[in-house]
Structure 1
Amino acid sequence: MSAKPMGTGTAEPRADGAQRALDTRRAGLWFGALAVLLLALSAARPLSVPDEGRYAEVSRWMLVSGDWLVPRLNGLPFFHKPPLTHWLQAASLAVFGVHPWAVRLPGVLLGLLMVWFGFIVVRQLLGAAVAGRAAFMLGASGAMLIGAPYVNHDMGVATWISVAIWSFARAFSFPDRQAPHAGWACLGFLACALGVLTKGLIGVALPALVMLAWVSWTRQWRRVWRLPWVRGLVVFFGVALPWFVVIGRQFPGALAYLFGVQQFSRYLGTGFNNAQPWWFYGVGIALLLAPWSVFAGLEGWARLRTRRAMTARTGKDPWVALCWIWLAVILLFFSIPQSKLIGYIFPALPPLAVLAALGWHRLMDGRRTARAWLAALALLPVLFSVGLTVAYPHVQRREGMARDVALELRTRLAPGDVVLVTGDYPFDLPFVARLRSPLVVVQDWPRLRAKEGDTWRRVLLDAGGFEPALAAEVLRTPDALQQEAHVPGRWLLAPNRPGPRDPPIADAWRLVDRGRAWTLYRSSPLPASERPVATR
């Protein structure tokens, strides 16, 4: 006989077959509408810089190079993150072509997975009404509408973390079993492995911290030892480990760089960009889930007033406690480092949405105008996201978008041509222009090597350390501008507003196109006997 899940005993009475069918149809229509809206937002704007241009190009380069093992930026090994996001994006580009919406599609699908999987599990733990409202609030939030169609790793790792936590929670939700449900637990181990392949150790560390805190609160340690550890660890290491083993053998020092520099040092260090105060994520997540986060606050206040905040361990309360613990652990974990980016807090969105749904139930259920208010409030994040999507390209013009000159270059570029860039790095240009070879980046690299901080220049210098021969070809010093000016098939990009240390553009470079942020030049060929001798 199947066990009855914890938390369903106090749920609303089971609807008849017709009502269940109607609820399923409504959920399907809502989910379909969310998918269409996310796809429309994905297609409505060009790539932003630097993040979307950088990560989209890493994925595109897998197709160009045929190397699906090593993520590469400008042809150089890029070991800031593991490869799962780039595998998914490269596969989408292979199927649908090199378009911004295609590289955004995996993020959209992962965001939809976060909403759908949470709905499936929360429906069993807290009832269909809470699950439906939580899914609606999470989908109709700025975090989902802006974060899912954004090309980086944040939505992906947040989805796998949420799938892992919900899976382990579901495994523990069968009180008549002495051991947690093995199938759900193994799904949790698989999600942790996919989280590690997406963004490293937080893919397993955060689910582990949340579940350890919750198990301690609910005093279920005896059941922890009965998890299917052997099968689960076989699944986890079988999925997560092979890529790291291969990369560690092929590139000595790559794992120390990925885990040591890009994860531990970035988490504990003080020399990285984006320093923010400790309260940054508390305010940030409230805005990301606005206006629904107000109802989560009301739910917390009501529980404190009635002295029932996570005190009972029967019925629904263990799962409400899980949501509060989950939210607190994620907020605390990411508030410790000085370097903070808003997308890091995405793993805290699912529990906050559930708490907001509970707060809505407490305040609005039974009111005739509840459904109208729900629809009206949902319009706020939708209109904000649409407005931001439309306005964002105009804002980004000031940040060095090279799309206009990239489109011009794409029509003129011939096989074998080489593109040089000086002064700055046009993150979106290789993707938009569909370059088949790396950019030759002209900087005073010997000087920068000793003093450059957490910038794109340091990223390329670090990447070049793993393949010095290729780095010598694509990271050139300023004398390359003079040497290449008379070689056929050479193109040069320079910022419209050069910096004080940028090398001058030789007169031999002919102006081709001046965009909003970048200027495109072409070389003036000389006979081979008269060309300057190249030096490295």
Structure 2
Amino acid sequence: MFDEKRFNLFLFLFFIALMIPAYWNPLFETTGARYGEISREMLASGNYMEPFYNGIKHFHKPPFTYWINALGLAVFGVNGFGARFFGAVASIIILIYTRKTAFVLTEDREKADASVLILASSILFMVVSRIVATDIYLVMFTIMLQYHLFSHIYIKQRTSHALLIGLYAGLGFMTKGPVIFLFTLLPFFIAKIFDRKHRGVFSLKQIFVILAVFAVVALPWYGYVVSINDGLLEYFLYDQTVERVATDRFNRSKEFYFFFMIFFGTFVPWAFFMLRNYRRTGELKTGWVLYLYILVPFIVFQISTSKLGTYLLPFYPVAAVIAALNTDSRLLRMFSFVLLMLASLALAVIPFIVDYVQPYWYICIPVGIFFVLLTLYTYKTYYKKHFVASFAFIIIAITFSVYCVIPLIGPHMKGYRLITQDIKNFDPEGKYQVLLYKTFAPSVSFYMNELVPMALSRTRETQFQKKEDYADVYIDNIDELQEYLKKHQEVILVTRKKFLYRNFMDVTGYKCSIIDVLGTKKYISFCQSPSIYKQP
């Protein structure tokens, strides 16, 4: 399907498709804004060991994602492009290693190439590749570890494989903690029950190498931050591990069918090919055991109370390998064609459904019609012989088009890039303090490139700091707000709803005039204390 030149061209075009809208698309609240702002604060402060989130220590995740994002901001500036750049690079590495892993397991170049196209065209992968978060890096280290694990088991046992397994396990641990083991070592140990080649595959020397490299990579940071923050060890072991699995402390409980809906909705149509191909697992060196690298994490997440759709993505590369074994089903191909037609038609009709998209009908309708015609043409000419490539090309192009339209409807999106532009236009010299009132939007700090205080907003975890360390940016009650306003007689106020800016005037006695309204929920106001606006 691909020679090396065409494969590299595909990777290049896919990377460009990820990066072209990256600058203009806002960092979406709260996930993208959270990781972007923590990375910005690391870069600004020079403290790369303790993550700070809008001025408060934040130990929900290890620091690898913040480090690599901070590097992107240092190179490309504090903007969406810089925050997303290395996530897109990680996506390309994932595709490369998916191809390598597929070839190890099948020794079939065509199936290896198909697995790349299947993964690249899966909706969840295309979305997460554009999100500023940990997930894409966890997927990267997972598939890199799996490649060396399977190479060690089925190709040749080498100490270099053990070294790299330890390295990628350590880096995965530094990305999202012990969850890296859920996609790699736990299925590996369970597979020992069923697959002879999984047993006794590592010598004592190689096991020592894995553990030593892992310890050197993963543990020093944990040791350092635990040593200087009282109570942090218990926080890691209980709050961020046990409570995430057993309780709904983080408000992430979902219905029992949630992960089924996510998998079949974002790995469509490939999830159906993957299930259908259980009869062809004899073509894999692992046999059916490869399904364990999907089922084990899926079952654990299904049992867990905390549920997010992105949790599933690290097993999508393996799922793509299984789906690529055979894609000849006439019924599923027709189903895929219908999906493409519906997606194309959705682009054309969305201006008639969503009010704030209506002004851009002249873009959406022609683009939708173009994809309808392209899908029909492809179906008649390429679909039968090149189904995987045809579907992948069209769905990737449709997704790219959607992300190019998002900046046009930015005022209505859950992001604050445009608000900060309005603030800078109103106050180009930065004379006034910006204040968020009953609104939690860390992307304002990101795009202002400075800490913006938040008053009467979300409850934060502050147990690792003294009050005076964050008093100016975390205003928790009315008394603290009054103390803050004694120092700031004029402020630029950001709220999410109109009644909140009115509420601010009632509570403080300040007089506010609206600077701008973006969408229907984002208000920017200039507010003055009574001592100023009552002056003769």
Q: Same fold (TM over 0.5)?
A: yes
Give the alignment of 1:234-253 within 5 angstroms: 234-253=212-231
Inter-partner Cα distance in structure 1 for 2:526 and 2:486: 8
8 Å CA contact 1:58–1:86 kept in 2: the answer is yes
Give the alignment of 1:112-511 within 5 angstroms: 112-127=92-107, 128-174=109-155, 180-219=157-196, 220-226=198-204, 228-300=206-278, 302-303=279-280, 316-360=283-327, 370-390=384-404, 392=406, 397=411, 401-411=415-425, 412=427, 414=429, 417-435=432-450, 438-443=451-456, 457-458=458-459, 460=460, 462-463=461-462, 465-476=464-475, 477-483=477-483, 484=485, 487=488, 490-498=491-499, 503=504, 504=506, 506-511=508-513
How much has 1:499 moved relative to structure 2?
5.8
Q: Does 2:532 match 1:519?
A: no
How much has 1:255 moved relative to structure 2?
3.1
Inter-partner Cα distance in structure 1 for 2:455 and 2:248: 29
8 Å CA contact 1:158–1:347 kept in 2: the answer is yes
Inter-partner Cα distance in structure 1 for 2:322 and 2:24: 32
Inter-partner Cα distance in structure 2 for 1:167 and 1:108: 22
**1:272-327 CA distance string (max 9 Å, x none):** 32322233223312222222223212212x44xxxxx56xxxxx443343431111
Out of 85-94 and 105-114, give the one that drifted further. Answer: 105-114
Inter-partner Cα distance in structure 2 for 1:134 and 1:377: 13
Aligned residue identity for 2:525: Y
Partner of 2:55: 75
Inter-partner Cα distance in structure 1 for 2:117 and 2:80: 27
The root-mean-square deviation of aligned C-alpha atoms, in Å, is: 3.1
Aligned residue identity for 2:141: W
Structure with more of its chain in helix, by fraction: 2
8 Å CA contact 1:485–1:523 kept in 2: the answer is no
**1:398-439 CA distance string (max 9 Å, x none):** 56533333112234265685332211112321112222xx33
Out of 248-257 and 340-349, give the one that drifted further. Answer: 248-257
8 Å CA contact 1:488–1:524 kept in 2: the answer is yes
8 Å CA contact 2:436–2:493 kept in 1: the answer is yes
8 Å CA contact 2:498–2:523 kept in 1: the answer is no
8 Å CA contact 2:509–2:529 kept in 1: the answer is no
Aligned residue identity for 2:74: A
**1:69-96 CA distance string (max 9 Å, x none):** 1111111101110110010000010011
Aligned residue identity for 1:291: P
Aligned residue identity for 2:305: Q
**1:452-491 CA distance string (max 9 Å, x none):** xxxx723x2x136434322333222224555516735643
Residues 354, 206 of structure 1: alpha-carbon distance in 2 compared, 3 angstrom cutoff:
closer
Give the secondary-structure state (helix, strand or coil) at the position aligned to 1:278: coil
Inter-partner Cα distance in structure 1 for 2:289 and 2:17: 31
Inter-partner Cα distance in structure 1 for 2:100 and 2:142: 16
How much has 1:496 moved relative to structure 2?
2.7
Give the secondary-structure state (helix, strand or coil) at the position aligned to 2:163: helix
8 Å CA contact 1:291–1:377 kept in 2: the answer is no
Residues 499, 186 of structure 1: alpha-carbon distance in 2 compared, 3 angstrom cutoff:
same
8 Å CA contact 1:464–1:471 kept in 2: the answer is no
Residues 205, 324 of structure 1: alpha-carbon distance in 2 compared, 3 angstrom cutoff:
closer
8 Å CA contact 1:285–1:349 kept in 2: the answer is no
Question: Deviation above 6 Å: which 4+ runs of structure 1?
Answer: 361-365, 525-528
Q: TM-score, normalised by structure 2?
A: 0.81
Inter-partner Cα distance in structure 2 for 1:148 and 1:216: 35
8 Å CA contact 1:509–1:523 kept in 2: the answer is yes
Inter-partner Cα distance in structure 2 for 1:414 and 1:224: 63
8 Å CA contact 2:251–2:306 kept in 1: the answer is yes
Give the secondary-structure state (helix, strand or coil) at the position aligned to 1:521: strand
Inter-partner Cα distance in structure 1 for 2:20 and 2:149: 34
Inter-partner Cα distance in structure 2 for 1:501 and 1:182: 67
Inter-partner Cα distance in structure 1 for 2:319 and 2:515: 49
8 Å CA contact 2:101–2:147 kept in 1: the answer is yes
Inter-partner Cα distance in structure 1 for 2:503 and 2:200: 65
Partner of 1:14: none
Give the alignment of 1:88-107 within 5 angstroms: 88-107=68-87
Q: TM-score, normalised by structure 1?
A: 0.81
**1:503-525 CA distance string (max 9 Å, x none):** 53545344251322333334547
- Match of residue 49, structure 1, among 29, 36, 53: 29
Query: Unpaired segments of 5 or more residues in structure 1?
Result: 1-18, 304-308, 311-315, 444-455, 532-536
Give the secondary-structure state (helix, strand or coil) at the position aligned to 2:200: helix
8 Å CA contact 1:511–1:519 kept in 2: the answer is no
Inter-partner Cα distance in structure 2 for 1:471 and 1:502: 24
Query: Unpaired segments of 5 or more residues in structure 2?
Result: 334-380
Residues 369, 391 of structure 1: alpha-carbon distance in 2 compared, 3 angstrom cutoff:
closer
Out of 227-236 and 57-66, give the one that drifted further. Answer: 227-236
Inter-partner Cα distance in structure 1 for 2:493 and 2:123: 39
Give the secondary-structure state (helix, strand or coil) at the position aligned to 1:419: strand
Partner of 2:375: none
Give the secondary-structure state (helix, strand or coil) at the position aligned to 2:276: helix
Inter-partner Cα distance in structure 2 for 1:275 and 1:384: 32
How much has 1:34 moved relative to structure 2?
1.4
How much has 1:152 moved relative to structure 2?
1.0
Aligned residues: percent identity?
Answer: 21
Give the secondary-structure state (helix, strand or coil) at the position aligned to 1:184: helix
How much has 1:227 moved relative to structure 2?
6.0
Residues 263, 196 of structure 1: alpha-carbon distance in 2 compared, 3 angstrom cutoff:
same
Inter-partner Cα distance in structure 2 for 1:230 and 1:491: 58
